[in-house]
Amino acid sequence: MLFLSIILLLLSNAITSRRDKSILYSRATITVLLIAAFIAYDNLFILFLAKGIGIFGGLFHTTATTNFFHVFICIITSVIFSPNRLLFTKLIYNGTLILNKMGEQFKIIEYSLIILFIVTGSVFLISTSDLVSIFLSVELQSYGLYLLSTIYRDSEPATSGGLMYFLLGGLSSCFILLGTALLYANAGTTNLDSLYIITSISNVSKDNITDVLY
């Protein structure tokens, strides 16, 4: 649902030339988030999800707990959108002069798309069950946050803060990849369940060796 809405917004943003359509896109985003929350809520009552199932080759793990947090994220994001985006706001143009200065915040047409990318990254991060998917989810969420912090292009503090955030985020991504590579080199896997099994076996082996020696 979220992926389909992102694709549709990307296509519509590519062909539209009217910047005042952002209010319509924001309302569509609220509708998409509410539908996604309803679907996740409906999945709470599926019995075989009680213990969880792995999807996409074990990269993600869905349970009733993850579905609950999916509902929470979608509803909170919809509430954040609602106060300004559900109001009927009209932009008045006179040549190139915008008479309604309060409408400036509604001209950022990419805002809804960036929020959907951040929500998608958050949903993936909650359901992840592998170090690789953790990295991809964090990066998907981080890139949206980079763009969101610099969305006011004419503001010098916004652009400088976004650039600093991007540089620090790139540095942290390098550390995440380094840690993942070290774990994979020693354990031979990046799956969290497999890492738990390996550590459990090593602990059992240490206990058996201790019993034999003493």
pLDDT of 192 reads: 83
pLDDT of 96 reads: 45
* Total-model pTM: 0.74
Q: Give the HSE-up count for residue 5: Cα atoms under 13 Å, Cβ half-sphere.
A: 22
> Would you state the structure tokens that stand for residue 4, as one six-digit string?
């389909």
User: What's the rounded Cα separation, in Å, for the pair 6 and 51?
Assistant: 30
User: What's the rounded Cα separation, in Å, for the pair 56 and 60?
Assistant: 7
Q: How confident is the model at residue 45 (pLDDT cuts 50, 70, 90)?
A: confident
Cβ–Cβ < 8 Å for 2, 115: no
Q: Which residue has the higher pLDDT, 5 or 130?
A: 130
Q: Which residue has the higher pLDDT, 126 or 205?
A: 126
> Would you state the structure tokens that stand for residue 134, as one six-digit string?
């953790």
Cβ–Cβ < 8 Å for 129, 138: no
The length of the chain is: 214
Q: DSSP assignment, residue 39?
A: H
Q: Which residue has the higher pLDDT, 207 or 4?
A: 4
> Would you state the structure tokens that stand for residue 164, as one six-digit string?
């600093």
Q: What is the mean pLDDT of the chain?
A: 75
Residue 69 reports pLDDT greater than 80? yes
Cβ–Cβ < 8 Å for 86, 132: no
Q: How confident is the model at residue 51 (pLDDT cuts 50, 70, 90)?
A: confident
User: What's the rounded Cα separation, in Å, for the pair 129 and 91?
Assistant: 46
List Cβ neighbours of 5 (8 Å cut-off, separation of 6 or more): 28, 29, 32, 116
SS3 178: helix
User: What's the rounded Cα separation, in Å, for the pair 203 and 183?
Assistant: 17
pLDDT of 206 reads: 56
pLDDT of 212 reads: 45
Mean pLDDT of 165-172: 87
Q: Which residue has the higher pLDDT, 143 or 19?
A: 143
pLDDT of 19 reads: 54
Question: SS3 sequence, 149-171?
Answer: HCCCCCCHHHHHHHHHHHHHHHH
Mean pLDDT of 180-194: 85
Q: Give the HSE-up count for residue 180: Cα atoms under 13 Å, Cβ half-sphere.
A: 16
Among residues 124, 40, 111, 125, which one has the least CA distance to residue 80? 111
